[in-house]
Amino acid sequence: MRPQVTLRRLEEMKAGHEPIVMVTAYDYPTARVAERAEVDMVLVGDSGAQVVLGYDSTVAVSIDEMLVLARAVRRGVRSAFVVCDLPFGSTEVSDEQAVATAVRFVREAGADAVKLEGGGEARLSRIRAIAAAGIAVVAHVGLTPQTAVALGGMRAQGRTADSAARFAREAVAVQEAGASVLVIEAVPAEVVDVVLPALDIPVIGIGAGRADGQVLVMHDLLGITEGKTAAFVKRFAAVGDEMAGGVAAYAAEVRSGVFPGAEHGYTANEAAVAAARDALATPATD
């Protein structure tokens, strides 16, 4: 069996310029797929709000819903490092609230680390508090979908002087606050490249150049997500079409009477068939 991926291993991979592979998963089957593909990190992302729960945005998902997804993923992952997103509203009130939420994800779902979006003052305080509680923190800067409205929408960050400066400051600040890993979303590679030398922790990019590793949403890369996806998504398969084709073929066979065939059922001897017939013909005595 593959050895457990630990924070130490992720740091070694960074030092050895070995690209780190991270992918999202939201249930047992997708966790098994990620594990069989031998990815290094599995993220139970709050993107699950949209891709598996059908909400319009990530802000709608609750702690309890995320915990259900996280527990199912944990059951399917043996060796990859499991990170759980802390959903919107579960850390905003205070450091105490953030620590209590992080503890739930570790204790109730077996998370190896929790992920927290943003790099402003309040976020830094949350990162410090969670790290001080002994829980590994994955920070997330650049485009942060939970607060995208405040950022002007779901758009790339770091493309203007002000935005690039803010991104650079936040990336370094989350590291100083105690984050163990950093996810950078939707920031031009040239801007990320300026900041990378200042970062000792493993940096995972999504639409942010090469960094130390990459993350993509499982349903995007497999082609399950319907409609337009972000520019940084590459489709590696057409699983959604394959699934729809399979269900359509099943429906067609049920409707035409081809399915089920005799081979999809069970056999009984003549006595059993006769007994069923007699039972209908004879009034019940009890």
Which residue lies nearer to ligand KIV by CB, 14 or 279?
Answer: 14
Q: Confirm whether residue 46 is marked as ligand binding.
A: yes
> Residue 49 and residue 24: Cα distance in Å, rounded?
12
Which residue lies nearer to ligand KIV by CB, 43 or 114?
Answer: 43
CB neighbour list of residue 64: distance below 8 Å, 6 or more residues apart: none
> Residue 166 and residue 139: Cα distance in Å, rounded?
15
255 in helix, strand or coil?
Answer: helix
Amino acid sitting at position 238: A
What are the phi and psi torsion angles at 190 (to 5°)? Answer: -60, -35
Least separation in angstroms between CB 78 and ligand KIV? 21
Least separation in angstroms between CB 136 and ligand KIV? 16
Which residue lies nearer to ligand KIV by CB, 126 or 282?
Answer: 126
> Residue 171 and residue 264: Cα distance in Å, rounded?
58
270 is catalytic: no
User: Where along the sequence are the contacts to ligand KIV (CB under 6 A)?
Assistant: 24, 43, 45-47, 85, 140, 183, 185, 206, 215, 217
Task: Please count the helices (runs of H) and the strands (runs of E) in the chain.
Answer: 11, 8
Task: Give the DSSP letter string of 59-87.
Answer: GG--HHHHHHHHHHHHHH-SSSEEEEEPP
Which residue lies nearer to ligand KIV by CB, 99 or 216?
Answer: 216
Q: Confirm whether residue 193 is marked as ligand binding.
A: no
Dig out the tokens for 164 from the structure: 């690039």
Helix 63-76 and helix 95-109, axial crossing angle in degrees, nearest 10: 40
Q: Confirm whether residue 40 is marked as ligand binding.
A: no
Q: Confirm whether residue 18 is marked as ligand binding.
A: no
Question: Are the C-beta atoms of residues 141 and 167 closer than 8 Å to each other?
Answer: yes
Which residue lies nearer to ligand KIV by CB, 47 or 180?
Answer: 47
User: Token pair 């801007």 is at which residue?
Assistant: 191
Handedness of CA 76, 108, 119, 229 (dihedral sign): positive
Dig out the tokens for 169 from the structure: 């400051």
Least separation in angstroms between CB 249 and ligand KIV? 31
Measured from each CB, the residue nearest to ligand KIV is 45
Least separation in angstroms between CB 223 and ligand KIV? 16
Least separation in angstroms between CB 217 and ligand KIV? 5
H helical segments located in 133-230: 161-177, 189-195, 218-221
Which residue lies nearer to ligand KIV by CB, 47 or 175?
Answer: 47
* Catalytic member of 185, 226, 263, 270: 185
Least separation in angstroms between CB 51 and ligand KIV? 8
Q: Which residues are catalytic?
A: 185
- Annotated binding residues for 3-methyl-2-oxobutanoate, written as ranges, equal 46-47, 85, 115
- Annotated binding residues for Mg(2+), written as ranges, equal 46, 85, 117
